[in-house]
Structure 1
């Protein structure tokens, strides 16, 4: 059962604070926005593009609009979280040629440097700024929306400063299979080609049954679930660029348009043509 503690929205910006008891696994998904996920309490592992992050209170998870992610709960512990969804338009008036507030969030290798540990969240002022956003969002004053945005801009700058200092010591100590790294790389570079468990088995000299097990264990996704999501993500890029839906279906590796249509609508909630029109 979910209990909402706080909610706030503005143009291109949405914030929520919720508690769930007991929690349920969150299926693989992507967003067409950026997400800042503030972990308060619970017992979970956050999977992003094959990387597994075991979270601790006050950890912050960052995902951009290209990263597949899901949450798997390790127990039925009470689950509390805060999150912010925002689109680039929300901060566009603050962007300058000299300073891009999204550069570190956007220009990471997918699934890397997504977690800012609690120590940095607190010591680098992110915790305090998030609290300012919470408090200000509930004020009924003419200036509150402006104040929320200015605190948020400051928080993005603080996040960038932490990300700029990142190195491998910040990554979860989850022991990640190098074989899976190679397979993920192969999938992302060959989305237009036929990809099956048999093909992966032959190419990487691993039993497809073992591959299914270790892939799910390491990434939180099934192999074909991952392939389908990545193909749809690539399709979105091509549709936005003006490519016809039928051509896109073949370009991203779907054998027929019907299969592409069903997968696209299941993941995005829109048909390919509806999605294209919605972005115009």
Structure 2
């Protein structure tokens, strides 16, 4: 298995390369950066917010900040991929400019995620950029982080040009089962603040809790509780960063009756206590 991982001192620029026979993302996943996922070879299933996408070699997925997502093994799990996480400020998007972006990058603001399937000529360009990013991370010559960031910007511009031309890959569920799970995930996103449980949601969709638990994990990579927790904590994090509400009020607003339980789940999902994000304001 070939692997490379680099994160800058600020935690706002991360590059991860992996060539592996199999891999499951180990934890619930959302973050404050843009994520660019380039599948260099093989196949992957990619669950984003409320639906599963079947990826093929050459596909690029760009996920906006604070969107729950997870990758899952496909039928043939061997794959090679490059992931870059980049803070919006590195793309000219800041609080001072109202999260504005250069016009060519507007598709990043218009969509929660983009799935780009590039023509062969542009895939050659993306491959060259990906290889150069990996080379910079490995050799770490003077200025390698800044150089790699300019390469990532070029990659994003290529993708956004296609998105701007309407070349975004249409999102289609791999199967009827995945479409059903998408409906359930959408329901959770609309009702996360309510008293939800596996039994309540199973009853709502006329399936057994055992069946729902099994197919939800299969389709999304999350257990039911992991996904519900991720959705709730994502919303709580936004409230902590963008409002003056007390932690107890936020806990109640996102569906937790106990602040102690909320604090425990919050730390298990984000790795931080809630007040860490309040103190960043």
Q: 1:79 to 1:252 in 2, by over 3 A?
A: same
| Aligned match of 1:205 | 206
- Please give the alpha-carbon distance, in whole angstroms, between the structure 2 residues aligned to 1:98 and 1:60: 20
| Aligned match of 2:232 | 231
| Aligned match of 2:59 | 59
Confirm or deny: 8 A CA contact 1:7 1:17 kept in the other structure: no
- Please give the alpha-carbon distance, in whole angstroms, between the structure 2 residues aligned to 1:217 and 1:78: 18
Confirm or deny: 8 A CA contact 1:30 1:68 kept in the other structure: yes
- Please give the alpha-carbon distance, in whole angstroms, between the structure 1 residues aligned to 2:109 and 2:121: 19
- Please give the alpha-carbon distance, in whole angstroms, between the structure 1 residues aligned to 2:38 and 2:167: 21
Which TM-score applies when normalising by structure 2?
0.80
Question: Would you say 1:186 and 2:187 are equivalent positions?
Answer: yes
The number of equivalent residue pairs is 273
Q: 1:274 to 1:212 in 2, by over 3 A?
A: same
Matched ranges for 1:1-280 at <5 A: 3-5=2-4, 7=6, 9=8, 12-20=12-20, 22-27=21-26, 28-74=28-74, 78-92=78-92, 99-100=102-103, 102-109=105-112, 113=114, 115-117=115-117, 119=119, 122-123=122-123, 125-135=125-135, 138=139, 140=141, 147-166=147-166, 170-172=170-172, 174-176=174-176, 177-241=178-242, 242-277=244-279, 279-280=280-281
Structure 1 unmatched runs, 5+ = none
- Please give the alpha-carbon distance, in whole angstroms, between the structure 1 residues aligned to 2:278 and 2:100: 30
- Please give the alpha-carbon distance, in whole angstroms, between the structure 2 residues aligned to 1:121 and 1:234: 40
Q: 1:174 to 1:75 in 2, by over 3 A?
A: closer
Which TM-score applies when normalising by structure 1?
0.80
Confirm or deny: 8 A CA contact 1:56 1:118 kept in the other structure: no
Q: 1:56 to 1:156 in 2, by over 3 A?
A: same
Mean Cα displacement is larger for which, 40-49 or 84-93?
40-49
User: What's the secondary structure of 1:55's corresponding residue?
Assistant: strand
Q: 1:165 to 1:212 in 2, by over 3 A?
A: farther
Confirm or deny: 8 A CA contact 2:37 2:60 kept in the other structure: yes
Q: Deviations over 1:90-114 (max 9, x none)?
A: 12279896834554234325xx64x
Mean Cα displacement is larger for which, 25-34 or 266-275?
25-34
Q: 1:15 to 1:178 in 2, by over 3 A?
A: closer
- Please give the alpha-carbon distance, in whole angstroms, between the structure 1 residues aligned to 2:256 and 2:121: 42
- Please give the alpha-carbon distance, in whole angstroms, between the structure 2 residues aligned to 1:172 and 1:188: 19
Report the alpha carbon displacement of residue 5 of structure 1 after superposing the two structures with TM.
4.8
- The root-mean-square deviation of aligned C-alpha atoms, in Å, is 3.3
- Please give the alpha-carbon distance, in whole angstroms, between the structure 1 residues aligned to 2:100 and 2:64: 21
Confirm or deny: 8 A CA contact 1:4 1:17 kept in the other structure: yes
